[in-house]
Amino acid sequence: MQPLLRTMQSEKALNTMLTAVKDFLPEDGMPYVEPFCGSADIPFGLEISHCILNDNNPHIINLYRWVKSGKFLEKGWLISRKTDLNNWSKNRAQFNELIAQDAIETVEAAQLMFYLSHISRYSNFGTNGAFIGVHDPHGELPEMDWTAAAALMQNWELNLGEYVDFNVTEGTNLVVNAPPIYVQQWNNVAWDPSHHRELLTWLEAHTGKIIVFHRRRAVLQRLYAHWTEAGRVFQVV
């Protein structure tokens, strides 16, 4: 199934990740955990019925919760789905108004997140929380089977928060798509080597199988190079 949000992975990288996770997951049907779920490429791509997804972006989690509830389109589309610059600008302004009003848990905000993810070249948020993406003139809204998506997500646990505050049961299998280095996260905070060292410390406190993906950068490869122990997989994508 196609992810609800626009993926940031290349087709080659995504295929590598899907194959690696398919080989990595146990066959007992136990759920696995993603501390940085983002566009949830893996659970959608492999149509995994049991997983625990965490992200610190409230707009992503809000979208997933509305779709899972089956009420995402209960009242139809509340926003314009036209993809030209004028309508994109209006939708961005509408989204930022909802953010300013602290109305980000609404279905309208969820629909706008879906729209802006696909019709923007990137989906960044500034220090004040406003959406600051740039219009993509070639962006298209995908046709989604919302009923099928809701059915797939019924046994997904969706958690909003920082990964360090995320309570992961010991022995749970972790799938970690490590944030790229020296890039802005959704709330405009850049990850650097110190953040990755903190992530490694957090991961090493857990038992169970762990697979870590990261983009091909020399600094990251040095940081994660020791991940060759049994039950831990390090995959460059």
Q: Give residue-wise pLDDT tens across range 129-140.
A: 899 889 999 999
- The pLDDT value given to residue 232: 60
Per the prediction, the chain carries an average pLDDT of: 88
- Global confidence as pTM: 0.91
For range 158-174, the mean pLDDT: 89
- The pLDDT value given to residue 166: 87
- The pLDDT value given to residue 233: 62
**Residues 107/78, Cβ–Cβ less than 8 Å:** yes
Dist. CA 233–CA 9, nearest whole Å: 19
- The pLDDT value given to residue 62: 98
Burial (Cβ within 10 Å: 0-12, 13-18, ≥19) of residue 142: exposed
- The pLDDT value given to residue 186: 57
Residue percentage of the chain with pLDDT more than 90:
56
Q: Give residue-wise pLDDT tens across range 33-82.
A: 999 999 999 999 999 999 999 999 999 999 999 999 999 999 999 999 99
Q: Where are the beta strands (DSSP E) in the chain?
A: 32-34, 51-55, 156-160, 174-177, 210-214, 232-236
- Using the predicted structure, report yes or no on whether residue 237 has a pLDDT greater than 70: no
What tokens does 191 get? Answer: 């990850």
Closest CA to 158 of 70, 47, 34, 30: 34
Give me the residues paired with residue 211 across strands. 175, 233
Dist. CA 154–CA 223, nearest whole Å: 37
Q: Give residue-wise pLDDT tens across range 63-76.
A: 999 999 999 999 99
R_g of the chain computed on alpha carbons: 18
